[in-house]
Structure 1
Amino acid sequence: MSATQTRTGSCLCEANKFTVKGDPMLFVVCHCTNCKRQTGTAFMSNALFKEENIDFTSSQNLGQYSDSKTQSGSTIVRQFCNTCGSSMFIRPDQGKKLTGVWAIPVGLIDGSDTWTPTKEVFVEKKCSFVKELAINSPQ
C-alpha cells in the first residue's frame, strides 16, 4: 500500500466516521489492565497514526474519559461513541505535551485485516490463553 492510500473507518452505528492516510506508524497489541477493561476482552489492538493523517468525516455524540490510572503513568483520553459504545480513539491528555499521535482500534478501520502487529506492550499482563505473536517468536 502506498503512503498516500486512504482508508475509511467508523464506529459500529456509523455515527462517527473518519479516514486515515497511509499505513500506521505502529500497530500495537496492548495487554494493560485498562485496555482490557475498555475492550472487555483479553487485549486491545491499536494502530498509531500522526494526528494530521486522521480526518473526521462525521463526528456525532463522542464521549471521552481521561484515564489517569495508567500503567505508564501518563494520562490519556479515551474517546468512545455515546450511541453504540465503540472505542474510537486514544490520545494524549490535552494538558500534557502533545505527541501528535493518536491510537485507533484496528477493528474500526476498513481493510486493516492485512496489517500485522509490530509491537506488544505490557506482556506481563497477558492472559494465559493468548498465544505468542509472530513478532515475538524466534526466527
Structure 2
Amino acid sequence: MIGRTARCHCGALEVACQGEPRKVSLCHCRQCQRRTGSAFSVAAFFMREQVSVRGPTASFARPSASGFDVDFHFCPTCGSNLLWYPARLPALVGVAFGGFADPDFPMPEQAVWAEEGHDWVGLPEEVARHARNPKPKA
C-alpha cells in the first residue's frame, strides 16, 4: 500500500496518508485564495481512516458556501495549513497537496469554483471544471 507524508514548513506537523486519495481537487474560491496566499488551493482528499496526524495543531473553523463548516488545522509554529475536515464530506479529510512536496503526486481531477478563478490560470484539458462545487458522490 502506498504511504505518503505531508509536512508543514518547519516539520513539526506531519500527516501520514495510506493508499491513494479518494480525489484530488483544485479550488479557485476567494476563501482558498486568502487561506493559501495563492491563486488557488489544491487538496488531496483521503478517507479519514487513511490519515493519521502527528504533532501539534491549531485550528480555525469557517462556514463554506455550501453552508457547512470546514475545520482547518495548521502548525502553531510555522502556520502552514496542512489539513482540513469538511463537514459537507464527513468521511473525508483534505490534505494540502503542497505538503507532500512530491512532483509525482497525482494531478487534480477537477477544479471547483472556477467562476472565481483568475483568467490567466490555465489548466490541462483533463481537469474537469465546475463553476461551483459539484454534488458529492454517494
Q: Identity of counterpart residues, as a percentage?
A: 27
Work out whether residues 24 and 107 of structure 2, in 8 Å CA contact, stay in contact via their aligned partners in 1: yes
Q: If the length of structure 1 is used for normalisation, what is the TM-score?
A: 0.83
Instruction: Tell me how far apart the structure 2 counterparts of residues 12 and 36 of structure 1 sit (CA, whole Å).
Output: 19
Deviations 1:54-105 (A, max 9, x none): 122x212x1111111x222211111111111101111034xxx862200011
* Structure 1 residue 110, shift from structure 2 partner: 4.5
* Structure 1 residue 18, shift from structure 2 partner: 2.3
Aligned pair partner of 1:100 in 87, 91, 98 = 91
Instruction: Tell me how far apart the structure 2 counterparts of residues 77 and 121 of structure 1 sit (CA, whole Å).
Output: 19
Partner of 1:129: 120
Distance 1:123 1:44, change over 3 A: same
Q: If the length of structure 2 is used for normalisation, what is the TM-score?
A: 0.84
* Larger CA Rg, structure 1 vs 2: 1
Aligned pair partner of 2:27 in 7, 25, 30 = 30
Work out whether residues 28 and 45 of structure 1, in 8 Å CA contact, stay in contact via their aligned partners in 2: yes
Aligned ranges 1:1-139 → 2 under 5 Å: 4-56=1-53, 58-60=54-56, 62-68=57-63, 70-93=64-87, 99-111=90-102, 113-136=104-127
Deviations 1:23-78 (A, max 9, x none): 1110000011111110011000000000100122x212x1111111x222211111
Work out whether residues 30 and 45 of structure 1, in 8 Å CA contact, stay in contact via their aligned partners in 2: yes
User: Which ranges in structure 1 are unaligned for 5 or more consecutive residues?
Assistant: none
User: Which ranges in structure 2 are unaligned for 5 or more consecutive residues?
Assistant: 129-138
Moved beyond 3 Å, runs of 4+:
none
AA at the equivalent of 2:61: S
